[in-house]
Amino acid sequence: MSSRLGPQRRILEQLLEEGRDQGVYSAAVALVGLKGDLLWQAATGRVSRDPDSPPATPATIFDLASLTKPLATTMALMLLEARGRLSLETPLGEVLPVPWLAPDKRPLSLKSLLAHRAGLPAWRPFYETVLTAPEAERSRLLARLAAAEPLKYAPKTATLYSDLGFMLLEAVVEEVSGQDLDAFCRGELYEPLGLDFLGFRPVRRLDRDRFTWAATEETSTPGIPAMGEVHDDNARAAGGVAGHAGLFGTGPEVFALTAWLYRAYHGQSEGLGIPPEIVRQFLTPVAKACRTPGFDVPTPGQSSAGRYFSPGSVGHTGFTGTSFWLDLERGQMVVLLTNRVHLSRDNDKIKAFRPRFHEAASRALGIQAEGDM
């Protein structure tokens, strides 16, 4: 595509190449836009450390990791609220009337789960238990195990980022919609918006040979990197579909979904039948949470979005090296997909790289902090 960022685009291209050369990732795709319009995109590197592997392109499919939380589970709940099936204040027990839901989980509001204020622990190695069960039963076990886990603190008294809450929210989507999360998101969210690649278990529905796949860590076969197989241990054990991880997609489709959110927030989007007021509920910070229902907001002084995204911004990061940020006030949008875990699960160079790249993108858009102008 032709860039509308002018000479600033070269600075962004150089940064992407620098990240590759410094071992932040082997492959990256980045997109920058304003108010829903894509202005620039680029790709760098190869899909794995193998020098003979294909080069990354904007069509490369990445494991989006925790971007699953806002772009699948949260948006599914947004759509179900628009259809009158639930609300953010609905107690979990009302929409998940199952015998295995522990009594202390039944009063939890969907909002508290989405904003990570339900009192649940951050993570548990549930895959160890799931993999001992018959394969046909594994997809239903994560929510049951999360429901049985004791709360770490009283609900709404603290914020603790938790995969477990989104395991329970996946069960809510499936109970209320009558479909599994994969089918509901594909049929009710992504396909109506013309997003062909975004979804779970991509190798089951896409011709592997027609696409390039960003490698993550090794599969169960030593020396063979995972491509199209979910990286998250718990999601992989459950069959690749989970409320907290498992989504795959390309940079342009993540950007398109983010652009839809921006336009919908401002009352300009159509296609899903979700009123702007409901979108705004999910993109408005929850008191004392430092999060919205399903999305992160910038942490002053230490945001992965850098210094130039306004407090009225939402976004999310993923463990594999993925992220998106959307400034609802200024309109700036950045999607950065990488495979940083391919080089090492402990490779944390992305932490310093992300804010640098976002600040360069903001400057390319003509947006800076007041003190820098």
Per-domain residue ranges for the chain?
8-70+183-366, 85-180
Q: Any idea which fold 8-70+183-366 has?
A: Beta-lactamase (3.40.710)
User: How high is the mean pLDDT of the chain?
Assistant: 95
Per-position DSSP letters for 28-80, written without gaps between them:
EEEEEEETTEEEEEEEEEBSSS-TTSPBP-TT-BEEEETTHIIIIIIHHHHHH
Q: Is the pLDDT of residue 216 over 80?
A: yes
pLDDT computed for residue 6 by the predictor: 75
Instruction: Give percent above pLDDT 70 in the chain.
Output: 97
40: which strand partners? 32
Dihedrals phi, psi of 26, to nearest 5 degrees: -95, -25
Reported as a pLDDT band with limits 50, 70 and 90, residue 369 is low
- Rg for the chain (alpha carbons), in Å? 20
**What pLDDT, in 10s, does the model give residues 59-104?**
999 999 999 999 999 999 999 999 999 999 999 999 999 999 999 9
pLDDT computed for residue 287 by the predictor: 87
Give 371 or 204, the one with higher predicted confidence.
204
**What pLDDT, in 10s, does the model give residues 288-321?**
888 999 999 999 889 999 999 999 999 999 999 9
DSSP 8-state assignment for residue 291: B
**What pLDDT, in 10s, does the model give residues 186-215?**
999 999 999 999 999 998 888 888 899 999
- Give residue 205's identity as a one-letter amino acid code: R
Reported as a pLDDT band with limits 50, 70 and 90, residue 373 is very low
Dihedrals phi, psi of 91, to nearest 5 degrees: -70, 145
Enumerate residues 6+ apart whose C-beta is below 8 A from 131.
Answer: 138, 237
pLDDT computed for residue 210 by the predictor: 87
pTM for this prediction: 0.96
Q: Is the pLDDT of residue 241 over 60?
A: yes
